[in-house]
Amino acid sequence: MPLQREFHYRFEDLSGVGMLTTDLQPPRGAEIVINVEDENKVWLSANPAGWLHLARICAELGTSSYKLGFHFHRDFNFEETAGGGPEVTFEVGQGEIVGPQGSRG
């Protein structure tokens, strides 16, 4: 018989001031790695603690009132990035594909 699981996450909604409540830095023990294979295949790998961390971030982005275009960048080890290297952008949008120069495709 399948087990029933629930995910509860309570946070302070700071979307009105353009801030995330969730610390983007993964907690101790959480591992998240992003890779691009064959130049067009994105591989997202995480241990269970890493997936829960991503779930908290997604829950906050999905249930708050961030303005369209709110975004942040992380490198392929889910660390803070100063730009210039490979990175992943997480954006609150309308489900459109947005190119690196902001062109909608």
Per-residue pLDDT of 49-76, as tens digits, reads: 999 999 999 999 999 999 998 999 999 9
Nearest to 44 by CA among 58, 62, 64, 59: 58
Q: Are strands 71-74 and 41-46 parallel, antiparallel or unpaired?
A: unpaired
Per-residue pLDDT at 94: 80
* 13: its two tokens: 């909604």
Instruction: Convert the pLDDT of each residue in 2-14 to its tens digit.
Output: 899 999 999 999 9
Per-residue pLDDT at 103: 47
Delimit the domains of the chain by residue range: 15-91
Per-residue pLDDT at 105: 41
pTM of the model: 0.81
